[in-house]
Every structure is written in structure tokens, then in C-alpha cells.
Amino acid sequence: MMRTVIVVGTLLLGAGAVLAQQDAVKLAQDTMKANGRNMGTVLGPMVKGEKPYDQAAVDAALNQFDDTAKKLPTMFPASVKNAKWEGDFSPSPKIWDDKAGYDAKVASFAKVVSEAKAKVKDLDSLKANFPGIGRECGACHETYRLKKG
């Protein structure tokens, strides 16, 4: 009986670890997809004149970026380093191997987003701040994201 309890307990702990890993992967992927949607379907089209300027939508996008900046320092725990990532991209091992560099990129992204939140009040200020946000996203992706296939 005791052996059964130990085996069942061990299996439950293992299953719990796998579920926690899957939750962390899903959170990271959902967060990054939201960033992409905000860049490509909310802010970008406004900057290009394809959509009318909408301060509420801009504020929502910038708030989501700010939320991402707060999550990024803990978004990629060591437990997800070898996890299965869905889609076309996965995190680079450099996130874990170059933690100081990754943390510096996160801090830079957080600063640009914070500044944009304070400055963006109309289309002209969005046009002035949008490229900086894009550069920060791209700079991190160049080093800390891998394209599959």
C-alpha cells in the first residue's frame, strides 16, 4: 500500500511539473502573439494611415506592452528551456546562457514602452515613438528568438 502511495505521489508530482511547464510556454507564446497583434494590426496600421488614430486602442496596446515588460524577466524559467514550443518560433538558449544580456534587453524594452506611454497622445507622437518600440522588439528577437525550420 505504501509503495502505491509513493508511486502515485511521484506520478502526480511529475504530471504537475509538466502542466506547469506547459502553462509557462502558453503564457509566453500568448504574450508574444499579443505583442505581434498590437504592432501589426493596431499600431502599425495607424502609423501607416491604414486605420484612423484611436487613443483608446493605442493606450490598450501600450498597456499590453507594459504588462509584457513586467512579465519578461520571469517569463522564461529554466524549466521551459527544453520545452516543446508550438508555432514558427522558439526562445533561443541564449535567454538562459546570456541572462545579463537578456535582462538588459528587457530593461531597454521596458524603458521605451514607459516613455511611449507618457508621450503618445496623438498620431504624430505615435509616429515618433512607434519605431523605437519596433526596434526594441526586433533587437531582442535577433538574439533571443529562433525561427524553426
- Measured distance CA(28)–CA(36) in Å, rounded: 12
**Average of per-residue pLDDT across 90-98:** 95
CATH topology of domain 2-147: Four Helix Bundle (Hemerythrin (Met), subunit A) (1.20.120)
User: Is the Cβ–Cβ distance between 45 and 61 less than 8 Å?
Assistant: no
- The rounded percent of the chain whose pLDDT value lies above 70 is 86
The SS3 assignment for 82 reads coil
Q: What is the pLDDT of residues 45-59, one digit of tens each?
A: 999 999 999 999 999
Q: Is the pLDDT of residue 21 over 90?
A: no
Torsion angle (degrees, nearest 10) of CA 129, 25, 74, 107:
-20
Helix axes 55-75, 99-119, angle to 10 degrees: 160
Q: Count the Cβ atoms, other than its own, within 10 Å of residue 119.
A: 13
Mean pLDDT score, 93-122: 97
Domain chopping of the chain, boundaries: 2-147
The 10s digit of each residue's pLDDT in 101-112 is 999 999 999 999
